[in-house]
Amino acid sequence: MIDVHIHLEQYPAAQLASLIGQWQAAGVHKVVAVSTDLASSYRTLELKVRFPDFVCAAVGFHPERLPPSEREMAEMTSLIRRERHLLQAIGEVGLPHYELARLPDGALAQQLEVLRHFAALARELALPLLLHAVHDKAELALACLRAYAGVKAHFHWLKAEAPVVAQIVAGGHYLSLTPEVCYRERDQRLARQIPLERLLLETDGPWPFSGPFAGVPTSPLLLFQAAETIAMIKEVTPAQLIRQCTENAKRLFALASPASGETG
């Protein structure tokens, strides 16, 4: 099992070694740790060094925040180039939606330029993009990607209309489902549309969930219940579902196969 989108640096630092041990014992053998700004990017890279076999590192600017300054962009670009050997992706990047009305005028255009910059960098360095681009912004992000042939993206926690989902799949990109699939019809419809070979699993932890997970701390362990629900929808076994999603993640993030005997 691989959780392809988790804010690992937001978990209590003193508890991380214990938590990771619990997750690994349950069958989670890697996570893709994403970042939201420069400070969190440095922390994510520290976690990559501390847990090299478990953490897949991604650095970037979350698009629901103020657009990065020129100095911040220059520092992030330098960091990505310098630490390319530690990175599996660029992210979390994308376009604002939820906070757009509260951001300064022109924020969407600025973040679109930021996304173009990271897409060009991703193509240059052969890294995938981890995208926050929901609702109507998904189609805009997809149009941006089309200008950068060869760049593959993971649309995380996607909310978009079925035709846009079909275009994302046709473009060779990947989409993930969260534990919300256990209790939200919207996510169950999305599960029916995403082909198995383009499907990933994520928690976006420590973001909390509702339904059967209300009050339960978010961790990659929730993905086993999500996998059971998706497997029923896809008419495969949970083991087959987890195996396929793991293979998809390995393909997207250029990960080596797990050691002999590991299946999740």
Condensed to tens digits (0 to 9), the pLDDT of residues 146-157 reads 999 999 999 999
CA atoms within 13 A on the CB side of 9: 22
CA distance 139 to 251: 24
Residue 259 DSSP symbol: P
Q: Where are the domains of the chain?
A: 2-252
Please report which confidence band the pLDDT of residue 261 belongs to, taking 50, 70 and 90 as the band edges.
very low
Place of tokens 């701390």: 217
Task: Quote the pLDDT of residue 117.
Answer: 98
Task: Quote the pLDDT of residue 256.
Answer: 75
Indicate the pTM of the whole model.
0.95
Task: Quote the pLDDT of residue 257.
Answer: 60
Nearest to 176 by CA among 139, 126, 133, 215: 133
pLDDT digits (tens, 9 = 90+) for 182-221: 999 999 999 999 999 999 999 999 999 999 999 999 999 9
Which pair of structure tokens corresponds to residue 60?
A: 């970037």
pLDDT digits (tens, 9 = 90+) for 14-62: 999 999 999 999 999 999 999 999 999 999 999 999 999 999 999 999 9
Helix-helix angle 185-193:162-170, to 10 degrees: 40
Task: Quote the pLDDT of residue 93.
Answer: 98
CA distance 92 to 80: 13
Nearest to 151 by CA among 131, 132, 134: 131
CATH fold of 2-252 reads: TIM Barrel (3.20.20)
pLDDT digits (tens, 9 = 90+) for 82-140: 999 999 999 999 999 999 999 999 999 999 999 999 999 999 999 999 999 999 999 99
CA distance 42 to 32: 15
Nearest to 219 by CA among 209, 228, 232, 206: 206
User: Which value, in Å, is the radius of gyration of the alpha carbons in the chain?
Assistant: 17
By the 8 A CB rule, do 213 and 238 touch?
no
